[in-house]
Chain A
């Protein structure tokens, strides 16, 4: 059994805020839910499935279902960090295909900026019951230095350079200049990325994503529901998920879980990487994008540095337009979890509703990919392929 064509993305909404000191976390979840419902042309009482991850307050979906006063017959709170929301769309499509729900709401929200969280540079203690904690926390792994180790190894093994990584940020900034909500709208150069302060060798400050408050929501629905609505139709063709860790001490930092989730999604969709017209690629750091582009099959392993250079990711310029909203590197990384905004920009592209300066012409086939957790420790990976009908 396949989910191909069994569900549609009928609503998508990105909260315009990037700093929300005057709002509660639950309120942000509610506001993005309302935005997605209005976008779809649905009401709250139409929702019969709810999906959220660890950013939602309370135990799994319980507090939010109660706060929103939903009456649902299907819930899922799978948490694989920033990739959770792509997995939620996949699981929603599965549930819809099986008749477990018809209209599924997925929400994400967070306030790390208002809360002053040192997202990337502070080690997080974690519960001592987590099996790896005592073997990792004493060494102070952070988000930044663990992704940095992936970059360091990639440079050693494949000759990737800091200037090549910088091109990823440059491309994102070219897109962000057109997004009035983007946190960073200034176009930057390779030289400016390389001149920004070193955070964790070899990653500079401008290799790192932004820290923002806000959130987003999407609605996944049965084909009959999609056909009854007035919005352009975005059909889900294929999904893939994976978890990659340290293999019991046989650590390999040269690839990500995208090497597994990607082929699964392409196989289900029945398309090839070369068919994809627009790609949302998780961009917690520049190295995240580079490794996923290789692992998803847009170029050969080790060729990512050459592939991303010279504007190849800039819409209207290069072969693979990516993150046309400015991505996590420039636009938004709400709750330190970028998967939701990856889906939303892919929906905009397929509807023809991206900013005209970055809209891919006749965009009919798009991919969204997320990584959650830490590329250098253990992470969840999810790939979603969608088609404009």
Chain B
């Protein structure tokens, strides 16, 4: 067993384009940008859809369920941690951390769910943990 311990998370710096994302996170939700024109989801959030390049007017609150696309446990750190790409059930892949988990039992394809960890400044940051 190699259980993870929580490390300090630096605060993300929101801007007018992204403030909705972080407000949703503060409320315990994961909001993904949805284009009002082509309907596609994208991440990280942009004001203009990176696919059809029309204004991406919508946000979709997603289920928070997904699968590990890839991961790596950083051993050379004061507090070892797992970085990962998680592909949401809705199809978008996010860079994230896997927390509250046994590092030695992580595997690609594993099902994970959304959790939040507070940053230094108290902002909730979306992360994932194995189901």
Contacts and interface: CB of A to CB of B under 8 A. Distances in A.
A141 B71 CA distance: 11
Contacts of B14: 134
Interface string B1-45: 000000101111111001000100000000000000000111110
Contacts of B50: 248
Nearest to A253: B70
Nearest to B42: A248
Contact of A145 (B9, B11, B74): B74
B72 A152 contact: yes
B85 interface: yes
Interface stretch (A175-183, A193-201, A302-310): A193-201
A153 B108 contact: yes
A117 interface: no
Contacts of A246: 93
B12 A137 contact: yes
A192 interface: no
Contacts of B77: 121, 140
B72 A148 contact: yes
B13 A131 contact: no
Contacts of A250: 92-93
B73 A200 contact: yes
A200 B75 contact: yes
Nearest to B94: A249
Nearest to B96: A139
A209 B100 CA distance: 32
A149 B10 contact: no
A121 B93 contact: no
Contact of B74 (A133, A140, A251): A140
Give the bracket for the number of chain A residues in contact with chain B. Answer: 35 or more
Contact of B119 (A131, A138, A248): A138
Q: For A149, A152, A201, A249, which residue has the most chain B Cβ atoms within 10 angstroms? A: A249
Given A149-B85, A153-B69, A139 B74 contact: no
B95 A139 contact: yes
Nearest to A199: B76
A98 interface: no
A197 B93 CA distance: 30
Contacts of A142: 74
Interface string A196-214: 0111111100000000000
Given A135-B44, A138-B119, A249-B93, A150 B74 contact: no
Contact of B75 (A132, A198, A251, A377): A198
B32 to A, nearest CB: 8
A139 B70 contact: no
Contacts of B74: 121, 140, 142, 144-145, 199-200
A299 interface: no
B108 A248 contact: no
Interface string B44-72: 10100011000000000000000001111
Interface string A124-167: 01001001111111111110111011101100100000000000
B129 interface: no
A246 B87 CA distance: 12
Minimum-distance CB pairs A-B, first 3: A148-B72, A249-B43, A248-B50
